[in-house]
A and B are shown apart, each in its own frame.
Chain A
């Protein structure tokens, strides 16, 4: 079945550490996105990519980095510069605006 796979489901980060969240899709979608979800704040866009080797900052990109070397993969790195990284991270993809968006099951990141 086609879909989006996010891993790991739970991730713990120590202070000053960089961590990478994985997002893989087999839907053949061109565009991929990373959202952050915090209680009471809804979903906020971190980065998005419309094609391979190209990506743009979203509304809250500071402290995060991404790469898009393959169409199927869009990993998100949470760097030590992100001061409040504890949140639920969601990856999404779309083939185009007319066909809707598909989301993964999320990664919960906690700073310990």
Chain B
């Protein structure tokens, strides 16, 4: 069974600092890995989807890397802003369509 771990559980940084969020998974035979953002009381918003054949994916200030062999993905957020405060989740699908989620990293960006 795929196990997904996210470290740290919480992170607080001053505005302008770069954020580094980590995600690890136990079974390296993944199809892809997806990063989500969740604001309090809201649904999940997809940020980036990295296919197993890719090493990284970028969208604006967000960059996600994937190292299948070591079972790791890292989400980088450049020049953080207070609006980046949220919980960030990573997830990987299994071959029966089900998603395995990490517990998330809660980010607070201080103005």
Contacts and interface: CB of A to CB of B under 8 A. Distances in A.
A101 to B, nearest CB: 6
Contacts of A43: 89, 99, 101
Interface string B75-108: 0000000000000010101010111011110000
Interface of B: 31-32, 34, 36, 41-46, 49, 51, 89, 91, 93, 95, 97-99, 101-104
A42 B49 contact: no
Contacts, number: 56
A104 B51 contact: no
Say which size band chain A's interface belongs to.
20 to 34
B46 A104 contact: no
Given A48-B98, A104-B43, 4 more contacts: A31-B97, A33-B99, A92-B99, A106-B43
B43 A100 contact: no
A43 B91 CA distance: 10
B43 A101 contact: no
A89 to B, nearest CB: 10
Contact of B49 (A48, A100, A103): A100
A101 B91 contact: yes
Interface of A: 6, 31, 33, 42-43, 45, 48, 50, 58, 88, 90, 92, 94, 97-106, 108
Contacts of B93: 94, 97, 101
10 contacts: A45-B98, A45-B99, A48-B97, A88-B41, A90-B44, A94-B97, A97-B93, A98-B32, A103-B46, A106-B42
